[in-house]
Structure 1
């Protein structure tokens, strides 16, 4: 993975963690829906950047999805 791609993934990871923290606070329904939508966009962006478009990417996709949905985990290296 190039340094540029790694930096993009790290930036998205930071956004994902920020959105997760926000979701643990008191929010209105509108705020919660907005943040959930941004969280989904960030997760999708990481998957697009990190995963190759091949059959071998399926296993990587599962591992990345697990990481993205498990709070407190560090980004894959």
Structure 2
């Protein structure tokens, strides 16, 4: 797997006096962290969409249940 590195962070660390290997590792770690956060964010967007759908479905089913209960009560009064 290709590892990405934040070039600006690497350059800043090198200019601050960090050795090449440590600057490369730090920049790679920060880039990997950003990639993980992006994946989590995408997953949360998916979950939010599913929750909206389930909330809509639940509301429909509650309405259907109330309507059915109303019809049962109405028919039991008539009979």
Structure-1-length-normalised TM-score: 0.35
Which structure has the highest helix share of the two? 2
Structure-2-length-normalised TM-score: 0.34
Larger Rg computed on CA atoms? 2
Tell me which of the two structures has the higher relative contact order, counting C-alpha pairs closer than 8 angstroms and 6 or more residues apart.
1
